[in-house]
Structure 1
Amino acid sequence: MKRWARYVIVLGAFFLSSFAPLHASEQRVTSEMIKVALNRQGFEVVSETATLLGRVRFVAVNDLIWREVILDLSTGQIIRDYAVEFSPTGPPVLEKDQMPRGGTVLDRGAFPYLVN
């Protein structure tokens, strides 16, 4: 009887743990959430592309500030949120799907988080 009880407990634990990913997936960050958050912060999304690792890469611009956000769709985690500011005398040239090089990297406190 004790052996049977152990099997029931182990199977119950596996059964209950199978519901955890369903609960977590409801709270995952989505591509749409990223686009809405960037738009609310005044950024225009100029490209949304897939990476080789199955992530989504957003490039957005707000005047002289360019921002790159990489989202892992499998976990809903923001892998990278990178912003660069350019001077008015040297604005970047817009190239589709490319984050411009140069400029000054902004500190994390210079812009708000995308999703709380």
Structure 2
Amino acid sequence: MDPTLGHEQAGRRPVLVLSQEPFNQRSGLVTVVPLTTARRPPRPWEVTLPTGCGGILTDSIVLAAHIRTLSRERLQLPPLGRITDAGIRREIAGCVLLHLGFTDLERLAFEE
């Protein structure tokens, strides 16, 4: 995810692809969040992924605040797998929405 500035995540690291495959194929882009293997409790906008989830090789933290759209050419390896656990998927989606400021979506959905 280089070049970076300031507190942006840098270097070669695993990422979780959030964008849908039709978008990825048509645009040549992917929307991702990086993972870290730092040993610390996750922050409110982060999710812990246990080893094996989605094919990852070690416990990792999803850094939802570092969401970024990249060229598909930046992805150096094929996907390790998919996150199929609905609870973890909801938690990741919630953290991304929290970071983007969409914390009132449930309330808005019922107001229409």
TM-score (norm 1): 0.26
Higher relative contact order (CA 8 A, sep 6+): 2
Which protein is richer in strand relative to its size? 1
- Indicate the structure (1 or 2) with the bigger Cα radius of gyration: 1
TM-score (norm. length: structure 2): 0.27
